[in-house]
Structure 1
Amino acid sequence: MGLPVLGILTLYLNDNGALEERPIYQRMTLAGKKIGLDVFVFTPSDVNYKQNRIHAHVYNTATKSWSRKWSSFPHMIYDRCRIQRSHRFEQLLHFRKQYGHLTFLNRVLRNKWTVYKTMRKDERFRANLPHTRMYESQKDLTDMIRKYPLVYLKPINGTGGRGILRIEKNQDGTYLIQGRDQSRRIISPVRVPLSALHSRLASWNLKGNRYLVQQGIQLKLSNGRVHDYRMLVQKNGSGAWEVTGCAGRIGAPRSITSNLHGGGEAVTMKALLERWIGKEDSIEKIMRTAEELGVQTSSFLEQSYGRLCELALDLAIDRKGHIWLLEVNPKPAREVFIQAGEKETYRRAIEKPLEYALWLYNQKKLRKEKAATREETNPDT
């Protein structure tokens, strides 16, 4: 009898067949082999729907090379597909509809607005959620900038800091607009009066592109660079949620976001809190509270949307030490930990989904065995 098989579901980045996280998949294949789990990678376009077979990407750990191999469907699927505007994403939607009955480690999480509204219903999280509104008309932005001196405009499905705008009220009554375009390029900052604000933003088509308006938290360090924290919460080999790690991120100069892809840098959470908060006893309390929030959030969202295996939480911590949940990412990268020098956390971040997959497989196998035993014991029931 062969080993249990985990199929990593991803999307090609382009029509030339490039895979985004191939180095990560290599490490996962090697780590899976050590615990008795076979791993292969595939995309929806690699599936033969008539034969229910997959033309999989397989990494050979001995020769350190990739090859293609026709395989039957895996026992479990680890969905790493991120949203992209392409026909490849349409293929993904078709695949999920066709094979939604299979065992997925992680179901689809909803968009930022739906997640926000869901979490707002639970009083445990309300104090940690920045006030957020869907942009449906100019009034939504006007109301928010009158209430808060700083707001962010975010695409409802955006990732990696693309298309985000920061609007801050100046002492002279004008508004400073900063941000990044859809290619993550930093746009030139501009100051405008309130009367010209909406016309200046017209080219962004905020309603058509489905934007959110979010209360901003002041997060500039003494050098003027913004910062936040990326927390990774994962299921372990016993099926329980736990925090794998949390690292600080410092944005590039002139950047309104801290994303590493946008030129940001990573440091340990403790080192960044020492710069920002200073007090040792306060730092320890903040870190404990953040971990509790991370586990509670992950457990709650799983109850709300179905099985999940990992989530990344983007956290902001203000000068008073209050923790704000800015965003939840269901397809987290792990590079923040290696860049922060936390090699052990990075290793665990790669291994945990595999350990959880094996646990899930064994649980399913155990249930089948128990059902078969009951049937043998009570053949007439």
Structure 2
Amino acid sequence: MKQNLFGKNVAELQDVLAPLGLPKFRAKQIAQWMYEKGATSFDEMTNLSKDLRARLSDAFEIFLATPKDILQSKDGKTSKYLLAFADGTAVESVLMRQPYGNSICISTQAGCAMGCAFCASTLHGRARDLTAGEMLAEVVFIDQLLRKEGQKVDTMVLMGSGEPLMNYDNVLAFLHLVHDEAVFGMSYRSITLSTSGIVPNIYRLADEGIPVSLSISLHAPEDALRSTLMPINRKYPMADVIAAGKAYGDKTKRRVTYEYILIDGVNDSEQHAAELAKLLHGQLASVNLIPINPVVERHLLRPSQARIDAFEKALADRHIAVTVRREMGTDINAACGQLRNRHLDSNKDEEK
């Protein structure tokens, strides 16, 4: 198989191209074609000789991702893409056209092994980790679509399928890659990483010296309930997760966001809110309430607007910074994993 050059920085390209006897500046030219101009073939690289283009084509390829399915919300503000990589593995990426700019949500693994009770991503388990280049391909695919409209990707969340901190090395390489001025040039401060609470790697990330925002999925104010909703809590209990979140905020001076999915009759009472406020008191933190996007297979329902409002007020009254996530893409099943699962189930039916 030809080696894929997409996803390599200039230094890595220099190493890969060295056996061809090419001067180092050629690596920068190729990077500019791939990342600035969106070239997907060497034939497009017109400042390279025809002979060199042919030699490169014989040894290498430029493969981003192939769209397998695209869903557009009726209001035009949310687009969901099922993107396939070279081996056929597919993941979901989402574009959300927000008032403050274009935000994307990308996946870091194909599927997920965390087993959260409310999430569709875990239904088929984890297929494999994504490479740094594959994560970059998600970003560039959407950015190229936006550039045709004179726009660009402004912010990004690593909150799609998968647990980013269980794919730590690849995710860290991706963060450096997408930040690289010669590749994509995104500010670290425009990036949010969401985790279910992999405590050792929260501390590792704090020590990396890169000011990405951290979002921790909490979803319950006490261990018994959180363990029911999130099995990872049995390994990393709530006290350890909160301590790691506080340490991250203290070290990076970045406000940590605690994600809290509101599920009707499960974790949405005012008593739950009071316990949550007590848990987070004194932290450089905020709470993002997420009324659940119902997943049919999970039989979990969205609370009434009155219960959502009451939960939000109970936190605010206790001086906890709180927001309610604006719903986007509910008509296209924008919750993580739903589109991928539909295709996986369809393929199984075809095989029967």
Do Structure 1 and Structure 2 share a fold, with TM-score over 0.5?
A: no
Question: Structure 1-normalised TM-score?
Answer: 0.25
Q: Which has the higher strand share?
A: 1
Q: Which has the higher helix share?
A: 2
In our comparison, the structure showing a higher alpha carbon Rg is: 1
